[in-house]
Amino acid sequence: MTIATLSAPSDKQAAENQWAVETHGLTKRFGENVAVNGVELLVPRGCAFGYLGPNGAGKTTLIRVLLGLTQADAGTMFLLGQQVPRHRDKALARVGAIVDEPRFHGHLTGRQNLRILAAAREPEARDRIGPSLERVGILHRADDKVAKYSMGMRQRLGVAACLIGDPQLLILDEPMNGLDPAGMQDMREMILSLVAEGRTVVLSSHLLDEVERTCDAVAIVDRGSVVRQGPISELLAGASLALEVECSDPDRARALISATTIGTVEGAEVSAEPTGLGVTLPAGTGRDVVAEVNRVLVEGGISVYRLQVVQASLESWFLQVTSRLGSP
């Protein structure tokens, strides 16, 4: 592993670094399997950052490497401006994380578990136990044994464990797992409130809808590599344009569109459906094309009842990206 021989930056220098997470060429292998493959990741401070990828893409492994739970084989990484693992203690002092399913000592209460974790942190952490439990909404169950907690409550306790360190950076791996709809709503609001306080939240999740509603920027990881990253709005602007057309005689409508220049554009797809047409146009297609579709259909004697531009969702974009990558 490449380790830069840098001295520890001062707290001020580290705080001025604009990246909460910065990795270069980060690689982790398990035998022949490359779980993290030269990852270049830049997570800006003060935002909610989604980290997406299909199962087995290496999301959790990257998080484990970042947190020093396992060692990297190559590359450099910085958390809050501090190089890890060289200055791991300084970096993790202001980091809170949930990795995989949060598990605790079942024979202890939630509060006692947090006391153990607070003791490993700075002395002030103990004073934050109560407020953290209150913030995640389990203060009333704080003195119950964790063995009696539901999965959702353990998730909340995991977040409380993060908060006792007053973290600048939170790394949450699938924090919505086990939460009911109300719990997911609470978690979403809490993440947004944490970001509003100026903290950075890195959210690894397979719930694309949640990520889209919560995060400002995302990175897509596939087969161990980050293949896209950036603000969601920018990334979706590069997604294909979809039109839903409700009309009479869908088969003839499809033939009309296919016969025009619209249908011959590379990447365009026209499909007949029972109630109309589905038209997919490549990224960057202008709004004029929408009017052109309408004109061709009307002039061809097709009754157009509804024509709607479907905004690309993160999910559809994610599927586009990962399916394209997955194709031979």
Q: Which residues bind another protein (CB under 8 A)?
A: 11, 14-15, 18, 40, 42, 44-47, 49, 64, 67-70, 88-97, 99-108, 112-113, 115-124, 126, 161, 165-168, 195, 197-200, 216-217, 226, 228-231, 234-235
Residue with smaller CB distance to another protein, 113 or 214 = 113
Q: Identify which of 240, 327, 237 has the alpha carbon closest to the alpha carbon of residue 279.
A: 240
Residue with smaller CB distance to another protein, 135 or 252 = 135
Least Å from the CB of residue 325 to another protein: 13
Least Å from the CB of residue 185 to another protein: 23
CA distances from 301 to 70, 245, 290, 295, 322 (A): 66, 15, 17, 10, 39
Least Å from the CB of residue 170 to another protein: 10
Least Å from the CB of residue 167 to another protein: 8
Residue with smaller CB distance to another protein, 156 or 254 = 156
Residue with smaller CB distance to another protein, 87 or 254 = 87
Least Å from the CB of residue 64 to another protein: 8
Contact 70, 36 (CB under 8 A): no
CA-angle at 47, arms to 220 and 315, nearest 5°: 35
Residue with smaller CB distance to another protein, 134 or 273 = 134
Measure CA 178 to chain center.
18
Residue with smaller CB distance to another protein, 171 or 279 = 171
DSSP output for 71-134: --SEEEEEETTEEETTTHHHHHTTEEEE-SS----TTSBHHHHHHHHHHHS-GGGGGGHHHHHH
Half-sphere exposure of 173 (CA within 13 A, CB side): 18
Q: For residues 136 and 130, give the distance between their C-alpha atoms in angstroms, rounded to a whole number.
A: 10
Residue with smaller CB distance to another protein, 216 or 244 = 216
Residue with smaller CB distance to another protein, 39 or 245 = 39
Residue with smaller CB distance to another protein, 96 or 183 = 96
CA distances from 83 to 161, 223, 274 (A): 23, 25, 58
Least Å from the CB of residue 133 to another protein: 15
Least Å from the CB of residue 265 to another protein: 21
Least Å from the CB of residue 50 to another protein: 11
Q: For residues 244 and 276, give the distance between their C-alpha atoms in angstroms, rounded to a whole number.
A: 8
Q: Identify which of 231, 248, 236, 243 has the alpha carbon closest to the alpha carbon of residue 301.
A: 248
Q: Where are the alpha helices (DSSP H) in the chain?
A: 11-16, 59-66, 88-92, 110-120, 129-135, 151-163, 181-196, 208-214, 232-237, 250-259, 261-264, 288-299, 314-326
What pairs with residue 33 in β-bridges? 30
Least Å from the CB of residue 135 to another protein: 13
End-to-end, the C-alpha distance of the chain in Å comes to 32
- Residue 107 tokens, joined: 């024979």
